[in-house]
Amino acid sequence: MIPAAKPIIGDEERAAVDRVLATGQLAQGTEVAAFEQEFGDQVVGGRTCIAVNSGTSGQHLGLLAAGIGPGDEVIVPSFTFAATANSVALTGATPVFADIEAGSFCLDPAAVEAAVTPRTKGVMPVHLYGHPADMTRLQEVADRHGLMVFEDAAQAHAASWQGRPVGSFGTFAMFSLYPTKNMTSGEGGMVACEGDVARRVRLLRNQGMEKQYENELVGLNNRMTNIHAAIGRVQLTKLAGWTKQRQDNARFFDESIEGVGLPPVADGATHVYHQYTIRVPGDRDRFAQALREEHGVGCGVYYPIPNHRLPSFGLELDLPETERAAREVLSIPVHPSLSQDDLETVVAAVNACAKAGA
């Protein structure tokens, strides 16, 4: 079976963990500070980065630090992982679901504008599958209505829009370091931001205190450990090579797969292919089952139920591109540990299933 995703953990990560364990300094310390500095320099053009224990924590703290709370609305896509809307709801604010573009699977700026109300404080695009959202048009909408922009960059390390890295646009941006993401620290997240927001994220991460036992805010314990940071630092040195491998794999698929919808790349977008996601207009679930059971090709549906219809939100809304994507999408393996043989197996399997379905 060719796995749908595969974290790559090598001897260097093991040695880095050993080195931290030998120091006895396990909780947040110098290793975390070094990881923050290196991640900021390498991924978001030198912007301040703050490490936390998960992407979800980062998103939650970023929203709290930006002043989002009860009575506020934040516009989010419904076609995403539940953490996007959950983090808004957990601040006491209301996530307002807007539709996506047919091409990029990311928030549609026109749909965002139509969803603005007097309570809207911000919009949180997701750079889904590693494809950047249209930050130019989203920023224009935000400027017209005085909104903040928050980036869910959980899947988009090293992606860019018009040459500018994702994570450098919003009031804050969150990157996830979960094992299946483009790089990992085990569990973890990074928040890119600056100024007062950065100061508040740091405080909220650590019980609201900068000086020990002189707590300024009501906060949480969302700290990253030195152990996780040590893994993340090694992974960061490999990110550029892995990203290029994902892009090369995607180019091979673009040139060789037939009979299904291929993922388009918008003008000015650098896609980092967290997922390579095709559209299967017929019976997608049967197609996925055949890929797995008849061809040994792992695959995944991200995401089968739009967030607004999850039991946790339970809303009835008219979001046609969201519904169509949830019915049609299928992500095939594109990760950097695929061999040329694997790539050819994936292509042959997808093409055979497409032909059988046609």
Ligand X SMILES: *Cc1c(COP(=O)(O)O)cnc(C)c1O
Q: In the complex, which residues of this chain contact ligand X (CB under 6 A)?
A: 54-56, 80-81, 83-84, 126, 152, 154-155, 176, 178, 189
Q: What is the 8-class DSSP label of residue 280? A: -
Alpha helices in the chain (DSSP H): 11-23, 30-43, 55-65, 83-90, 109-114, 135-145, 195-205, 226-256, 284-295, 320-328, 340-357
Tell me phi and psi for residue 200, to 5 degrees: -70, -35
The rounded distance, in Å, linking the Cα atoms of 94 and 69 is 9
175/252 with CB nearer ligand X: 175
To ligand X, the closest distance from the beta carbon of 112 in angstroms equals: 17
Per the residue annotation, which of 121, 181, 244, 355 is the catalytic one? Answer: 181
**By C-beta, is 53 or 249 nearer to ligand X?**
53
CB of 344 to ligand X, least distance (A): 28
* Those residues with Cβ within 8 angstroms of residue 88's Cβ, 6 or more apart along the chain or in another chain: 63, 68, 74, 76, 94, 95, 124
Q: Is 181 a catalytic residue?
A: yes
Minimum CB–partner distance for residue 277 and ligand X (Å): 13
Which residue lies nearest ligand X, judged by its C-beta?
55
Q: Closest CB to ligand X among 330 and 350?
A: 330
CB of 122 or CB of 350, closer to ligand X: 122
Helices H / strands E in the chain, number of each? 11, 12
The tokens 């912007």 sit on which residue?
47
Residue 210: count of CB within 10 angstroms of its CB: 12
| Smallest distance, ligand X to C-beta of residue 131, A | 12
Question: Catalytic positions, please?
Answer: 181
